[in-house]
Amino acid sequence: MPIYQALTQTKEWLNTSRPLTPDDLKGRVLLVDFWTYSCINCIRTQPYLNAWYAKYKDKGLLIVGVHAPEFEFEKNIPNVERAVQDEKIEYPVAMDNDYATWNSFDNHYWPAKYLINQDGQIIYTHFGEGDYDEIEQKIQDLLGLSDKMVTVNGALQAQAGQTPETYLGYERGRNFVNQTEFKADQPADYTIHDVTDGDWSLGGTWTVGPMGSVSEIDGAVLRMGFSAKEVYLVMYGPKDSVATLKVNGKAVTPTINGGADVAAGGRVHFDGARLYKLIKMPTFTENATLDVVLPKGATVNAFTFGG
C-alpha cells in the first residue's frame, strides 16, 4: 500500500479539523511517530517531537502521530485527547485502534519513527528512544537546512542498570513470584513475598489477566523490587479512590522520594487510566522494594523505570 494511503486509513483524528487525505501529505517531509500514551519510552521522546515541530513546521515538516494502543483503555478517545493536551502535542494524531496503519508499516515498536521524503519514500527509521541529533540532522537534510540542533531541558531519561519494564499480566509478565498460587482470569488469594530486583508479588485477592491484574479487595498489595531513580506504574481505579505507597517499609514522602502524582502520606489519587509517577528517589537506588496498597477494583498493567 502506498505510504500516503497507509497513513490516512483511519477516520478518527485529533488536532485537525478533518481527517487528513493523501493530498494533504504529498510533497511534504513527513515524520511519522507511532506511540501510545502510557508508554514511558514515548513520554521521554515527546519533548523532542514537540521541539522539532515548533522549529520546522513552517519550513516544510509535518509530524503525524499514529496512536496505536497497547492496552484496551488506550483505545478510548477522551483518554488520548487528555494525553495530547497534557503532553502539549500540536501536530495531527491519527487514532489507529485497529492497527491498520501499524500493520501497513509492518511496525513492531513504541515509539517508532519513520522519516519520509517529499517523494513519499521512507528514507530513515528509528525504534525506541535516543539518537535525537541524528534524527534531527536527517530532518534538516531533507529540508535543505543547516542549523543548530534543538535543546530540550528536563526530559525524562533512562539510566543504565535500571530495572526493565515489567508487565503485570500473564501474557508478558516475568518474575512473578506467586507462580504456585497463580490462576488465570479468576479471583485467587495470593501471599505477599519478599522480592529482589525485577521480581513482583501480589498479596490479597487478585484476578490476574493477560494484560494486567485486578484487585478484588480493598487493601490488596502489589510489591515490586527495583533499581532506579524513578518508578512509574500504568494503572487505573475507581473514581476518587486512593492507592498508598511504601518504599522499604516506610511511607513515601512527596518532598523526599515521591513522584509527581504522590500526595501527603504516600497517597495517589486515581484520576483516570494512565501512567502514574510514583517514586523519585534522591539518587539512583539499587535493590529497593516498593509496596502499592490498592483499593478494590484497581487495575495494574505495567511498571516502568527511569534515571
Task: Output the domain CATH number for residue 131.
Answer: 3.40.30.10
Same domain, 277 and 175: yes
68 with 175, same domain: the answer is no
Q: How many domains, the chain?
A: 2
The residues, any chain, with a CB within 8 Å of residue 66's CB and separated by 6 or more, are 7, 32, 33, 34, 35, 93, 94, 96, 101, 102
What DSSP state is assigned to residue 148?
A: P
Q: Do 102 and 180 lie in a common domain?
A: no
Dihedral sign, Cα of residue 84, residue 81, residue 258, residue 288: negative
Mind listing the pLDDT tens digit of every residue in the chain (307 residues)? Answer: 689 999 999 889 999 999 999 999 999 999 999 999 999 999 999 999 999 999 999 999 999 999 999 999 999 999 999 999 999 999 999 999 999 999 999 999 999 999 999 999 999 999 999 999 999 999 999 999 988 888 887 666 677 789 999 999 999 999 999 999 999 999 999 999 999 999 999 999 999 999 999 999 999 999 999 999 999 999 999 999 999 999 999 999 999 999 999 999 999 999 999 999 999 999 999 999 999 999 999 999 999 999 7
Find how far residue 260's CA is from the centre of its chain: 16
By three-state DSSP, how is residue 125 classified?
Answer: strand
CATH of the domain at 187: 2.60.120.260
- Same domain for 170 and 289, yes or no, is yes
Q: Per the domain annotation, does 161 fall within a domain?
A: no
- Whether residues 215 and 108 fall in one domain: no
My answer on whether 137 and 199 are in the same domain is no
